[in-house]
Amino acid sequence: MPGSLVGVNTMVPNRLVHAAILADKVEALMGYTSVRAEVRYGKNSRIDLLLEEGEKRCFVEVKNCTLVKDGIACFPDAVTTRGFKHLQELQEQVRMGDRAVMFYLVQRMDAVRFRPADCIDEKYGIELRKAVKNGVEILVYDVSLDLKSIALNRALPFEL
């Protein structure tokens, strides 16, 4: 894109976020002794990352974000019934006493903030706002990207 390279490999976000958490690069997710990937939970789902410390559990759902318009990173870039289901299941985990986080990884370097793409999937945006009111946390990070490497870069603010 004119303002940034864009990471299009959809396998990267989960791996990159997993590695960043293990390396204590995500301050909000530090302090857990176990980080497991693709753990079954909810109604026939898998959580991208389950962080544990004793009885404390944190469910982390990682979303790949490549849509940026006028400096605003937006998710989703298409209607997502699966993403909607993830928001509902994370709210259930919070109701059960766990911590739940939506982690949006912006695989480009030209965004200054994040917001839900209501013009693409209004239902998802409404559910995301509901999830946040019900205790689901949001983390948004962009990347540092060149033709040889990609790394977690900085936290971005979000607006709902």
Write the pLDDT tens digit of every residue in 55-84: 999 999 999 999 999 999 999 999 999 999
Domains (range + CATH), the chain? 12-155 (3.40.1350.60)
Q: Identify whether the C-beta of residue 19 lies closer than 8 Å to the C-beta of residue 11.
A: no
Percent of the chain with pLDDT over 70: 99
Q: Does residue 44 have a pLDDT over 90?
A: no
pLDDT score of 3: 73
pTM for the model: 0.95
Long-range contacts of 21-24 (CB under 8 A, 24+ apart): 21/49, 21/51, 21/60
- What is the CA angle 150-155-160, rounded to 5? 125
Write the pLDDT tens digit of every residue in 85-108: 999 999 999 999 999 999 999 999
